[in-house]
Amino acid sequence: MDFTTKTIFFITLSSLLFVGNAIPSSRDIHVVRHNLQSNLLEFCKKTTNPTLCQQTIQPSYTNNVFDPYKALGVEIEATLNQTKKIIGIISELREKQETSKSLKDSLDICKDQYNSILGSIKETKDAIANRDVRTIKFKFSAVLSYQASCKDAFEGMEKEFAFAKDSDVEYQLGGNCLDIIADLEKSEPKNEDPLPQSPPSASSNVIGTIS
Ligand SMILES: *[C@@H]1O[C@H](CO)[C@@H](O)[C@H](O)[C@H]1NC(C)=O
């Protein structure tokens, strides 16, 4: 590296660091919010239930830069919350005196399935922290099978399936997560290079900083 190259390299590095740490002015926040909105719309468009995707992810995005892994993390958290809600309903029904033997059997199957979902989600979260899309897919892909197994346990006794609507919400949220994962997988580089490509905007920042 000659002097000029070194200087440019240093400036690039420091401006990248600066961009990363800068506290945005109120105008910038406005711009970021606007982009966040359109990014989220674009992001959710590809999912099973775009409206649900936006409704669940939006509240967790106040003043942040859009990050698809973070958005996936929020949608998975929404799935986790729905899972916990259903486990609560199952426990309540299970404890009722008037619950029939056949209903208890179905509820026990569902309790196992939803506990398995909890396990899958826990493992998925670790993989999200590592931005490891292959492991994310591997760990999360069982969720809809567990959801379906619980639903199947109520075949022929649909009237007693008190949480059918919640089960459907679980399906929609889980489906959204899988769609997002599939999309992330598509944008993964084909080789095993763990380093992200620098965005082209980084070089325009350098020019701005020098002049
Ligand atoms: C999940 O539930 C927690 C606790 O009730 C709540 O703070 C959080 O916002 C919920 N997350 C989503 C994505 O709905």
Could you report the per-residue pLDDT of 89-107, keeping only the tens digit for each? Answer: 999 999 998 989 999 999 9
Domain assignment present for 123: yes
Domain assignment present for 171: yes
Domain assignment present for 203: no
Q: Is the dihedral of CA 133, 138, 143, 148 positive or negative?
A: positive
- Interval between CA 81 and ligand 1 midpoint (Å): 6
When divided into structural domains, the chain yields a total of 1
Ligand 1 close to Cβ of residue 55 (< 6 A): no
pLDDT at residue 31, rounded to an integer: 56
Domain assignment present for 140: yes
Contact yes or no for 7/193 (Cβ under 8 A): no
In this predicted structure, the answer to whether residue 11 has a pLDDT above a threshold of 60 is: no
Rg (CA), the chain: 23
Domain assignment present for 194: no
Domain assignment present for 150: yes
Report residue 61's pLDDT band, with 50, 70 and 90 as the boundaries. confident
Token pair for 197: 């490509």
**What is the value of pTM for the model shown?**
0.75
Pocket test for ligand 1, best of 56, 81, 128 (most atoms within 8 A of CB): 81
Contact yes or no for 120/83 (Cβ under 8 A): no
Domain at 22, CATH number? 1.20.140.40
Domain assignment present for 208: no
Range of the domain at 49: 3-187
**Residue nearest to ligand 1 atom 9, measured at CA:** 60
The one-letter code for the residue type at 15 is: S
Query: Which atom of ligand 1 has the smallest separation from the CA of 57?
Result: 13
Pocket test for ligand 1, best of 58, 77, 169, 176 (most atoms within 8 A of CB): 77
Domain assignment present for 206: no
